[in-house]
C-alpha cells in the first residue's frame, strides 16, 4: 500500500486547491470524492483579490480573470428596483495586485483547477470513492474507502476533511457546530442569456418584504437569481418552471434566456468548534457555513487551506513540532467567524430595508459590502493596530532581472523579508533561522512599486516579515530585525 503524505476527502474547490498547494511543496497527495466530475452547476460565483493570489500560486488567476466579470455597483433596492442604497465597486486593480472582486462560473473554475491537478504527478485522484471510516493512529491515518462496492484502505500521514457542509469526518470526530441561529431557505436559479438584452452590470438586493431577491450579473451570459422562500410558499409550486419564469420576469423571459437550474438551498450560519484533532483537519464548508450574501464561503475555505498547507510543510520538513497545528484554529476560527457574522449582517440589512418598506423604522447601523476583512489574531509579531500586521501584504510590481514581476512570484510560498533599504545585518541565530526556513530576502529600490502600494508599510517599518500565506507577520527597524526573526522560533514551534 502506498503511503501518502496527505489524503484529502472532497474534490470540491477547497479540497482541490489544498491538493495543489501541498503538491507544490513536493508532497504525495491523494484526493478522493464520492462524486464523479466537477460540480455540474454553479454555487460559488464570486472571488476576491486575496483568493486570486492563491490561484496565482499555480498560475490560473489570469485565466480566471480573463473569464470573469466585474460588476459596477451593488444596489439595495425597493421592490420596484428603485435604489435605496448604491455602492459603486472599484474597477481598477486592487492593492492585492488583482481585481478587487470577480464573478466566475463555478463549473469552469473547477475545470481550470482540475486541469492543473492533472499536471501534478504527485497528486492521485480517485472519484466515485466514498470515505466510510477512518482510524487516527499516532503518526498516520488509515482511511477505509469504498469504490464500486470494493472496500480498500489508504494510509496517509494526515487527513484533511474538505468534505463539505454535511462532513462525514466532522461527524465521526463528534465535533459540534456552533450555530448562529440563521436558517433560511432560498430558491437559487442560474440562467444564461441567449439573445442580446439590456441588463445592467450590477448586483441588486431587492428588499421586497413579500420576497427578498438577489440578482447578479455573472460572467459572460451567466445570471444568478436567489429568491427567499416565504412561510406560506408551497415548495412544489415554487419549484415549477412556470412559477420560476414568473419570478424571473422583471429581468428575463423564455425568449431571451435559458434556465440552467433552480434548486432550494438551506442557508445556514455555523462554525465547527474544533478544527483539528491529532492528524485530522477540517477545512472549507466542513468547518464553517454561511449564507452566500457576501460570496465568501469558498473564499473562507481557500484561506483555510492557504493557512494550513505551509504549516504541514514545516512539520513534514522537520522544521516544526506538531504543536504548530495548534495555530491553525487559533488563526482561522476567529477570522471565519467574522466572515459568517458579516454575511449575516448583510442578510439583516436586507431584512431591515424590507421592514422599512412596510413602514417600520430602519436605518442600517452596520456597514454591508464595503467592509475590510480583519487581521488574523494569532501567529503575528507586531501590533495589528498598525493595519499592516496580520493582513495580506499588498502586492507591488517589482523590477527583477529587468522584468516587471509581481511580488508573489518572488515570495514563492516561502517566508520572506522585504525591505527598501540596501543593507541587511542580522545575528548568527537569525541567520540560522533564515537558512532553516529558506526565508527569501527581497530588496526594493526606487524603480519598484510604481503604484506606491508599500509606502504606508515603509513609513512605519524598515523590514517586513511575510508568512508563506502572504499574511504580514510583523515589521521592524534595523535594530530589532534579528529579534523579529528569532521570534519565529516560538511562534511556529521551530525545532
Ligand X SMILES: Cc1cc2nc3c(=O)[nH]c(=O)nc-3n(C[C@H](O)[C@H](O)[C@H](O)COP(=O)(O)OP(=O)(O)OC[C@H]3O[C@@H](n4cnc5c(N)ncnc54)[C@H](O)[C@@H]3O)c2cc1C
Window contacting ligand X (CB under 6 A); options: 9-17, 62-70, 340-348, 416-424: 9-17
Q: Which residues make Cβ contacts (< 8 Å) with residue 95, sequence separation at least 6?
A: 49, 394, 395, 451, 453
User: Nearest approach, Cβ of 298 to ligand X (angstroms)?
Assistant: 3
d(CA 447, CA 431): 28
Residues 264-283 that bind ligand X (CB under 6 A): 265
Residues forming a β-bridge with 213: 206, 227
CB of 2 to ligand X, least distance (A): 18
Residue 30 or 416 having the CB closest to ligand X: 30
Report d(CA 458, CA 448) in Å as an integer: 13
Sign of CA dihedral 192, 197, 201, 204: negative
Of 56, 190, 285, 331, the one binding ligand X by CB under 6 A: 285
Q: Are strands 46-48 and 101-103 parallel, antiparallel or unpaired?
A: antiparallel
In terms of CB distance, is 301 or 475 closer to ligand X?
301
Binding segment toward ligand X, per CB under 6 A, in 175-183, 234-242, 296-304, 391-399: 296-304
474 is an interface residue for ligand X by CB under 6 A: no
Shortest separation between residue 136's beta carbon and ligand X, angstroms: 16
SS3 481: helix
Interface region with ligand X, contact rule CB under 6 A, candidates 205-213, 295-303, 343-351, 428-436: 295-303
Interface residue with ligand X among 131, 159, 207, 470 (CB under 6 A) is 131
> Quick one: how far is CA 129 from the chain centroid?
25
Q: How many angstroms separate the CA atoms of 485 and 146, rounded? A: 47
Q: Which of 298, 417, 465, 470 binds ligand X (CB under 6 A)?
A: 298
Q: Which residues, other chains included, contact 253 with Cβ-Cβ below 8 Å and sequence gap of 6+?
A: 245
Least distance in angstroms from the C-beta of 440 to ligand X = 29
| Minimum distance from residue 392 beta carbon to ligand X (Å) | 16
Residues 6+ apart with CB under 8 A from 365: none
Q: What whole-number distance in Å separates Cα of residue 57 and Cα of residue 395?
A: 13
Among 5, 50, 56, 163, binds ligand X (CB under 6 A): 163
Taking CB under 6 A as the criterion, the residue among 8, 9, 272, 306 binding ligand X is 9
Alpha carbons 455 and 443: distance in angstroms, whole number: 14
From residue 48, alpha-carbon distances to 78, 286, 296, 419 in Å are 28, 21, 9, 27
- Comparing CB distances to ligand X, the nearer of 45 and 484 is 45
Q: Nearest Cα to 188, choosing from 240, 238, 224?
A: 224
Per CB under 6 A, which of residues 180..209 are in contact with ligand X? 188
Among candidates 390, 422, 396, 420, which has minimal Cα distance to 410? 396
104 binds ligand X (CB under 6 A): no
347 binds ligand X (CB under 6 A): no
Cell of 176: 459540534
Cβ closer to ligand X: 265 or 399? 265
Q: Which is nearer to ligand X, 34 or 332 (CB)?
A: 34
Q: Measured between alpha carbons, how far is residue 356 from residues 78, 81, 182 in Å?
A: 10, 15, 21
Single out the segment in contact with ligand X by CB under 6 A; choices: 39-47, 71-79, 94-102, 466-474.
Answer: 39-47
How far is 135 from 346, CA to CA, in rounded Å? Answer: 41
Q: Is residue 299 a contact residue for ligand X (CB under 6 A)?
A: yes
Nearer of residues 12 and 468 to ligand X, judged by Cβ: 12
Task: Pick the closest to residue 252 from 200, 212, 185 (CA basis).
Answer: 200
Residue 113 C-beta: closest distance to ligand X, Å: 10
Of residues 11 and 58, the one with the C-beta less far from ligand X: 11
Site for ligand X (CB under 6 A): how many residues? Answer: 32
Q: Which three cell numbers stand for residue 422?
A: 540596501
Quick check: 164 binds ligand X (CB under 6 A)? yes
Residue 73 C-beta: closest distance to ligand X, Å: 17
Q: HSE on the CB side for 39, CA within 13 Å?
A: 21
- Residue with cell string 428575463: 252
Chosen residue from 4, 5, 8, 10 binding ligand X by CB under 6 A: 10
Q: Which residues contact 118 (CB under 8 A, 6 or more apart)?
A: none
- Our finding on whether 117 is near ligand X (CB under 6 A) is no
Q: Check binding of 70 to ligand X (CB under 6 A).
A: no
Instruction: Select the residue interacting with ligand X from 7, 32, 391, 439 (CB under 6 A).
Output: 32
* 284 lines the binding site for ligand X (CB under 6 A): yes
Q: Which stretch binds ligand X (CB under 6 A): 298-306, 334-342, 378-386, 452-460?
A: 298-306
Q: Binding residues for ligand X, per CB under 6 A?
A: 9-15, 32-35, 43-46, 130-131, 162-164, 168, 188, 265, 284-285, 292, 295-299, 301
Amino acid at each position: 500500500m502506498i503511503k501518502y503524505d496527505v489524503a484529502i476527502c472532497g474534490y470540491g474547490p477547497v479540497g482541490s486547491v489544498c491538493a495543489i498547494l501541498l503538491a507544490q511543496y513536493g508532497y504525495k497527495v491523494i484526493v478522493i470524492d464520492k462524486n464523479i466530475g466537477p460540480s455540474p452547476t454553479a454555487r460559488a460565483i464570486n472571488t476576491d483579490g486575496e483568493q486570486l493570489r492563491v490561484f496565482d500560486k499555480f498560475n490560473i488567476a489570469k485565466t480566471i480573470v480573463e473569464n470573469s466579470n466585474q460588476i459596477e455597483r451593488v444596489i439595495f433596492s425597493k421592490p420596484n428596483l428603485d435604489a435605496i442604497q448604491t455602492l459603486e465597486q472599484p474597477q481598477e486593480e486592487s492593492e492585492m495586485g488583482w481585481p478587487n472582486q470577480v464573478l466566475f462560473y463555478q463549473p469552469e473554475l473547477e475545470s481550470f483547477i482540475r486541469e492543473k491537478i492533472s499536471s501534478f504527478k504527485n497528486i492521485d485522484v480517485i472519484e466515485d470513492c466514498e470515505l466510510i471510516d477512518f482510524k487516527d493512529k499516532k503518526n498516520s491515518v488509515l482511511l477505509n474507502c469504498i469504490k464500486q462496492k470494493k472496500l480498500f484502505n489508504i494510509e496517509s500521514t494526515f487527513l484533511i476533511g474538505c468534505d463539505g457542509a454535511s462532513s462525514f469526518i466532522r461527524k465521526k470526530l463528534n465535533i459540534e457546530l456552533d450555530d448562529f441561529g440563521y436558517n433560511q431557505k432560498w430558491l437559487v436559479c442560474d440562467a444564461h442569456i441567449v439573445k442580446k438584452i439590456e441588463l445592467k452590470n450590477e448586483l441588486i438586493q431587492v428588499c421586497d418584504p413579500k420576497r427578498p431577491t438577489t440578482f447578479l450579473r455573472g460572467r459572460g451570459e451567466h445570471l444568478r437569481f436567489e429568491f427567499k422562500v416565504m412561510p406560506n410558499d408551497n415548495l412544489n409550486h415554487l419549484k415549477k418552471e412556470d412559477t420560476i419564469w414568473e419570478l424571473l420576469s422583471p429581468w428575463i423571459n423564455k425568449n431571451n434566456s435559458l434556465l440552467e437550474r433552480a434548486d432550494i438551498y438551506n442557508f445556514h450560519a455555523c462554525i465547527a468548534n474544533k478544527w483539528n484533532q491529532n492528524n485530522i483537519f477540517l477545512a472549507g464548508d466542513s468547518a464553517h457555513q454561511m449564507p452566500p450574501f457576501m460570496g465568501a464561503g469558498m473564499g473562507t475555505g481557500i484561506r483555510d487551506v492557504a493557512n494550513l498547507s505551509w504549516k504541514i510543510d514545516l512539520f513534514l520538513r522537520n522544521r516544526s513540532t506538531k504543536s504548530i497545528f495548534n495555530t491553525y484554529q487559533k488563526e482561522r476560527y476567529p477570522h471565519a467567524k467574522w466572515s459568517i457574522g458579516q454575511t449575516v449582517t448583510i442578510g439583516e440589512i436586507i431584512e431591515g430595508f424590507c421592514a422599512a418598506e412596510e413602514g417600520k423604522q430602519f436605518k442600517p447601523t452596520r456597514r454591508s459590502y464595503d467592509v475590510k476583512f480583519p487581521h488574523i489574531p494569532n501567529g503575528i509579531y507586531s501590533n495589528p493596530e498598525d493595519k499592516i500586521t496580520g493582513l495580506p501584504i499588498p502586492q507591488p510590481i517589482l523590477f527583477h532581472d529587468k522584468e516587471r514581476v509581481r511580488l508573489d512570484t518572488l515570495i514563492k510560498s516561502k517566508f520572506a523579508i522585504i525591505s527598501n533599504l540596501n543593507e541587511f545585518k542580522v545575528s548568527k541565530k537569525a541567520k540560522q533561522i533564515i537558512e532553516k526556513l529558506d526565508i527569501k530576502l527581497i530588496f526594493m529600490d526606487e524603480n519598484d512599486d510604481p503604484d506606491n502600494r508599500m509606502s504606508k508599510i515603509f513609513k512605519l517599518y524598515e523590514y517586513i516579515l511575510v508568512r508563506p500565506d502572504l499574511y504580514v507577520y510583523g515589521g521592524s527597524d534595523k535594530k530589532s530585525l534579528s529579534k523579529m526573526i528569532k521570534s519565529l522560533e516560538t511562534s511556529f514551534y521551530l525545532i
